[in-house]
Amino acid sequence: MGAPARLLVNIDVPNVAAGEAFYAGLFGLTAGRRFGDTVVELLGLEAPLYLIARPAGPRDEAYGSVARDYGRHWTPVHLDVAVEDIEAASARAVALGAIAEGGVREAGYGRIATFADPFGHGFCLIQFTPEGYDAVAD
């Protein structure tokens, strides 16, 4: 086989500037490349984060039959972002427009807080103990 596969994270947002303000403000990301005014590459996580402007409403033929809706929705795929200080990161998230969904709670691997971003996407902040996931792995 050739080079290993690389992960790229794409998030549809109704407005790239608003998405950039939220994610760059929350995680300290910086803009890399821009592709016109409809896509921005944000750098600073372990995988680049691409925000893609896609309006809500009628379905996009390229992406199937589901209409895009930026109200809060559930999806089996979401972001978990490990942070050093979950209280500070949670406060930043809410100040930037996220909706907290239950506060910070204890887990066997550390502490976790769940949110919806201003565009309806779910994400979690995690503050690991020194053992992290090893504390709960079989």
- Report d(CA 79, CA 45) in Å as an integer: 11
- What global pTM score does this model have? 0.86
Q: Which pLDDT does position 64 carry in this prediction? A: 66
- In the chain (138 residues long), the average pLDDT of successive 10-residue segments reads 89 95 97 96 97 80 67 78 97 97 95 95 96 94
Q: What is the largest CA-CA distance in the chain?
A: 47
Under a CB-based contact definition with an 8 Å cutoff, are residues 122 and 70 in contact? Answer: no
Domain ranges of the chain: 1-55, 72-138
CA angle 121, 100, 49 (to 5 degrees): 35
pLDDT at 41: 98
Determine the pLDDT at residue 72.
76
Provide CATH code, domain 72-138.
3.10.180.10
**What pLDDT is stored for residue 70 in this prediction?**
67
Q: Which CATH superfamily includes the segment(s) 1-55?
A: 2,3-Dihydroxybiphenyl 1,2-Dioxygenase, domain 1 (3.10.180.10)
**69 token code pair:** 């809706």
pLDDT of 134 reads: 95
- Separation between Cα atoms, residue 117 and residue 120, nearest integer Å: 6
